[in-house]
Amino acid sequence: MQELSATAKVILGMLHHGARSGYEIKQAVDRSTRFFWNASYGRIYPELKRLEELGLVEGTAEATGERARRSFALTATGRDALEGWMRERPAACEMRHEALLKVFFADALPPGERPQRLLDMAAGHREKLAELRAVEAGIPESARASSAVTALRFGIEFNEWVASWCEREAGDHDGT
Amino acid sequence: MQELSATAKVILGMLHHGARSGYEIKQAVDRSTRFFWNASYGRIYPELKRLEELGLVEGTAEATGERARRSFALTATGRDALEGWMRERPAACEMRHEALLKVFFADALPPGERPQRLLDMAAGHREKLAELRAVEAGIPESARASSAVTALRFGIEFNEWVASWCEREAGDHDGT
DNA sequence: AAAATCATGTAATGGGTTACATGATTTA
DNA sequence: TAAATCATGTAACCCATTACATGATTTT
C-alpha cells in the first residue's frame, strides 16, 4: 500500500465523517480543517477518481433530476486505510508562516519599523480567530463533544495565544 | 515586479543576514527558519540563478583552490525588493498539521484509542521543542537581542504551549 | 585511509493552486 | 429575471521534494 496524498487523507476522513460528494468534501474542508489542512477542487476530483481505482472509495451516480452528482462512500479497504493511517505516528507539523519570517528578518528594516512585523502577525491571527469563533458559535450544544470540535477549540485557543504573544512582544520592544 | 517565490523570500533575507553561497543559505535555513519555512537545494540553486537574471542578487566566482564556490550578494534592487516585501501585509499562516488532522478525525477510531492522537501530537511538538532549545543554547549572550532570536523564542514557547495543550486535553478525555 | 563535510548543481516526479468551462437549480 | 449556489471536472503552471551525480577538502 503506497502512501496516501494529503488530499487523499482528508477525503477518506471526510467520507467517514458523513460527506458524500466532491463538492461536499470541499465545503466541509472550508468549514473545518481549512485553517490547518486545505484542499482544492483541482485535487479533490482527480483524487476521488484515483481512490476509486484503488478500491478505497466507491462512487454511485445520483442523478437527482438533470443535475450530475456522484456520491462516494468508503469501502472496507478504504476504512482500513483510514484507520491504518490514523494509527501511524503523525509527521511533524510543517508550516509556512510568512508573518513569522518577517519577524525573523525584522532587522533588515530600520528599528522604528520592526515592532510592526509583530503587530502584523498578531492581526493575522486575530482575524483567523474571529472566523473560528464564528464557526464555533454555529455548532449546536449536542455536537460539542466531537473530536472535530476539539480541533476547532485548539484553533481558537492557538490563535488567541499567538496573537497575545506577538502583542506582548511588540509592547516589550517599543520603548514605553 | 512579479511576486517573489517562497524560496526567493528566504534567500533575499538570508543574504541580507550574512549568508553568501547557496550552501550557506541552506545551512542557515536548517539552523533557523526550518521549523516554519523550509527550503531545499533543488530550489535554492535555480532560484539564485533566476534572481541573478532579475538583477536582485549578484554572484561572484570565488575559486578558493580548486573548489567551486559562488558567493552572492544583494544588489540595491534586491535590497529594495526585500524591504518592499517586508512592508507588505503578510499572508495568513498556512500549515499542514497531520497530527491535528488525526485529532480532528479521532472519532473514526474506537474511544480507547482517541486520546493517543493528542499524545502523539504533543510528542511531536516536544521533539521540536528539544531541537529548538538546543539551538538556543548555542547562541552567545551578545546575539540575544536580534529579531532572529525573537523568532526562535517564539518557536520554543509555541511548541511548549501546544504540547501542554494536548497533554491537558488528553488528560481531560481519559476517565481519571 | 576512510569518513564526514564542503560545494554545486540537475532530473524525475508529484502534488497543489488557480483559472477556466459548463450547465442546472434555487433564492431574492 | 438576475444572482447566487450547486455541481463536476480539466488544463496550465508552478514549485517543492527527493534522489542522483560529481569531486574537493578536512577531520578522525
Averaged confidence pLDDT in chain A: 94
Query: What local confidence, expressed as pLDDT, does residue B68 receive?
Result: 80
Contacts of residue B125 in chain A, CB cutoff 8 Å? 93
Residue B166 has pLDDT above 90, yes or no: yes
Query: What local confidence, expressed as pLDDT, does residue B173 receive?
Result: 72
Dig out the grid coordinates for A169 from the structure: 512582544
> Nucleotide D20: nearest residue by CA–C1'?
B42
In chain B, the residue whose alpha carbon lies closest to the alpha carbon of A155 is: B100
Label residue B114 by pLDDT band (50, 70, 90). very high
Residue, of A140 and A159, whose pLDDT is higher:
A159
Mean pLDDT of A57-78: 88
Label residue B110 by pLDDT band (50, 70, 90). very high
Query: What local confidence, expressed as pLDDT, does residue B172 receive?
Result: 80
Q: With an 8 Å Cβ cutoff, are B150 and A98 in contact?
A: no
Distance from CA of A142 to the nearest CA of B (A): 15
Contacts of residue A92 in chain B, CB cutoff 8 Å? 124, 127-128
Query: Smallest Cβ distance to B36: which of A37, A91, A97?
Result: A97
Label residue B115 by pLDDT band (50, 70, 90). very high
Dig out the grid coordinates for B107 from the structure: 472519532
Residue, of B148 and A174, whose pLDDT is higher:
B148
Averaged confidence pLDDT in chain B: 94
Q: With an 8 Å Cβ cutoff, are B96 and A121 in contact?
A: no
Query: What local confidence, expressed as pLDDT, does residue A176 receive?
Result: 54
pLDDT digits (tens, 9 = 90+) for A11-38: 999 999 998 999 999 999 999 999 999 9
Query: What local confidence, expressed as pLDDT, does residue B67 receive?
Result: 78
d(CA B171, CA A74): 32
Mean pLDDT of B45-50: 97
Query: Smallest Cβ distance to B103: which of A87, A96, A151?
Result: A151
pTM: 0.95
* A107 contacts B147 by C-beta, under 8 angstroms: yes
In chain B, the residue whose alpha carbon lies closest to the alpha carbon of A86 is: B102
Q: How many CB atoms lie within 10 A of CB A68?
A: 10
Label residue A62 by pLDDT band (50, 70, 90). confident
Label residue B176 by pLDDT band (50, 70, 90). low
d(CA B74, CA B69): 17
Helices (H), B18-113: 22-31, 41-53, 76-87, 98-104
Q: Residue A18's Cα: distance from chain center in Å?
A: 17
Query: What local confidence, expressed as pLDDT, does residue A156 receive?
Result: 98
Mean pLDDT of A56-63: 90
Label residue A149 by pLDDT band (50, 70, 90). very high
In chain B, the residue whose alpha carbon lies closest to the alpha carbon of A12 is: B105
* A69 contacts A63 by C-beta, under 8 angstroms: yes
- Which parts of the protein come within 7 Å of strand C, by CB position? A 3, 5-7, 38-43, 47, 65-67; B 21-24, 27, 41-42, 45-46, 48-49, 64, 67-71
- Which parts of the protein come within 7 Å of strand D, by CB position? A 21-24, 27, 41-42, 45-46, 48-49, 64, 67-71; B 3, 5-7, 38-43, 47, 65-67
Least confident among A33-37, A135-139, B161-165: A135-139
Q: With an 8 Å Cβ cutoff, are B154 and A37 in contact?
A: no
Residue B118 has pLDDT above 70, yes or no: yes
pLDDT digits (tens, 9 = 90+) for B62-97: 866 677 889 999 999 999 999 999 999 999 999 999
Nucleotide nearest to A9 (CA to C1'): C15
Query: What local confidence, expressed as pLDDT, does residue A2 receive?
Result: 72
Is residue B138 exposed (0-12), middle (13-18) or buried (19+ Cβ within 10 Å)? exposed
Query: Smallest Cβ distance to B151: which of A86, A103, A113?
Result: A103
